[in-house]
Amino acid sequence: MPAERLSGLDASFLYLEKPGVHMHVAGLSIFGPREDGSRLTYDDVERVVEARLRLAPRLRRKLLAVPGNISRPLWVDDEHFDIDFHCRRSSVPSPGGRFELERAVGRVLSRPLDRTKPLWELYVFEDLSEDRTAILLKLHHAMADGIGGMMIASALFDLNPEAPLGASEDGWKPEPAPDQQELIVDAVGDVMLHPIQGLSHAVRQPRILAETLAATADALRTVAGMGTPPRGPFDGRVGPNRRFATAERPFARFRTIKHELGGTVNDVVLSAVAGGLNALLEARGEKTKGRTLRAMVPVSVRSPGETGDIGNRVAPVFVDVPVGRMAARTRLRRVRAATARMKDSGMAVGADTIIGLGAYAPPALHATAARLVAQARWCNLEVSNVPAPQVPLYMAGAPLQANYPGMNLKEDCGLSIGCTSAAGTMAFGLTADWDLVPDIDVLARGIEAAIDDLVALTKG
């Protein structure tokens, strides 16, 4: 497979990484026992991964820097690829329940990935209670966004418990990496050609250019109009150590809430998170009356033609969520109003345009700009809802029960919450700085209680 240059956004996640600010994301998949009662084992998982690597070729690719850093790095085949380095057998202490697994995942998320290898690791926890098995797929954000990560994971899943593994690629041979001269020539051409292509596109389609510039201006005005984010309970310098917690409810309940109380599934997610934040703040004895916290909500800007691209295609929008004590219906109504304002502002379109400008900047300038943006205080937490297929999924015959996202943290923001609805379960993964959020389990249970409060308002 030919060398592939990172996009501007993909490269940004490399530039933003620091010893205490890891830029990997993860997905924790829980599998139940097979119909015959047997559990999924490490050997089963390794056989599946080996057989399906051809469906996710980036898993065998590593980073290659350009001499002089004159352009963004490339993905190239790893000539020393060894699946045994990436697939790892792990364990949790007895009784192998929620708490023990969460602690084990937090420790894995506390360690950076090795940049000399393909940027992913897969951990198999075999000794969970109720004959369950957990698989943690950890990969660098430069490799994929939430949807891209789900696409990689889906290569390992089956729609049928009897599906064959497929033939492994015993004959795979890595494509030779470009030599120094090729790297420099291609990089110089890329740096020179991108601005010319952009200008040519603008000249050919002036109406689209005008609309894009107008949307960008509207987005900037909207963010400026929101003012500085309020001081939040998770503000502070983030260290390298992570806590991880999980929460879940059947996805059908979210659909019921949406249909009977109005809004979107994402509105319900934000309302549940806001309710959980209220529970946490009150448990800490903090004042909540009239209080809001600003959430950064990544929004996919993938076009229909980009369904096979696993790279990053997201843009941020910002939503002030109400975290005071109030009725569940009132909280949902206020969240709906806040998200409606963001949609009308075109914030995601404008942010996508600004992010795209990174493709035209030299890496040194791009890295500096990315770090300056990251150092600004934009939000109090991140909340991301990753779409997932609503069908039963299996690995080597074992049924998937839930998939909990693990998120990266911003250097001054100690909490990120992701959720995904795979296998009919809306599963929340809460990733936090170890010191800033020692009571992360209070938040997890608060999210579940907030969902239950909304369900109680429906007829379902």
In a domain, 172, yes or no: no
Q: Are residues 84 and 12 in the same domain?
A: yes
Is residue 429 scored above 90 in pLDDT? Answer: yes
In a domain, 92, yes or no: yes
Distance in angstroms (rounded) separating the CA atoms of residues 89 and 85: 11
Distance in angstroms (rounded) separating the CA atoms of residues 61 and 36: 37
Beta-bridge partners for 140: 24
Select the more confidently predicted residue: 353 or 42. Answer: 42
Is residue 199 scored above 50 in pLDDT? Answer: no
In a domain, 94, yes or no: yes
Q: Are residues 133 and 203 in the same domain?
A: no
The pLDDT of residue 387 is 82
Is residue 326 scored above 80 in pLDDT? Answer: yes
Which of these three, 132, 166, 200, is where a domain ends? 166
Is residue 172 scored above 70 in pLDDT? Answer: yes
The pLDDT of residue 426 is 97
pTM here is 0.86
Over range 50-59, report the average pLDDT.
89
Is residue 51 scored above 80 in pLDDT? Answer: yes
CATH code of the domain in which 257 resides: 3.30.559.30
C-alpha distance from residue 78 to each of 2, 3, 4 (Å):
12, 11, 13
Distance in angstroms (rounded) separating the CA atoms of residues 450 and 284: 18
pLDDT tens readout for residues 264-296 = 999 999 999 999 999 999 999 999 999 999 999
Over range 184-192, report the average pLDDT.
70
The pLDDT of residue 313 is 47
Distance in angstroms (rounded) separating the CA atoms of residues 408 and 414: 10
Distance in angstroms (rounded) separating the CA atoms of residues 128 and 251: 24
Is residue 334 scored above 60 in pLDDT? Answer: yes
% of the chain with per-residue pLDDT over 90: 58
First to last CA, the chain: 51
Which of these three, 103, 131, 166, is where a domain ends? 166
Select the more confidently predicted residue: 368 or 28. Answer: 28
Least confident residue range of 145-154, 192-201, 261-270, 338-347: 192-201
The pLDDT of residue 346 is 56
Q: What mean pLDDT value characterizes the chain?
A: 84
Q: Are residues 241 and 203 in the same domain?
A: yes
* Domain that includes residue 351, residue range: 192-385+426-455
Q: Are residues 231 and 334 in the same domain?
A: yes
Answer yes or no: are the C-beta atoms of 320 and 21 closer than 8 Å. Answer: no
Over range 35-53, report the average pLDDT.
94
The pLDDT of residue 152 is 77
Q: Are residues 13 and 126 in the same domain?
A: yes
Which of these three, 131, 151, 166, is where a domain ends? 166
Q: Catalytic residues, which ones? A: 141
Length of the chain in residues, anyone?
460
Is residue 224 scored above 80 in pLDDT? Answer: no
Number of domains in the chain: 2
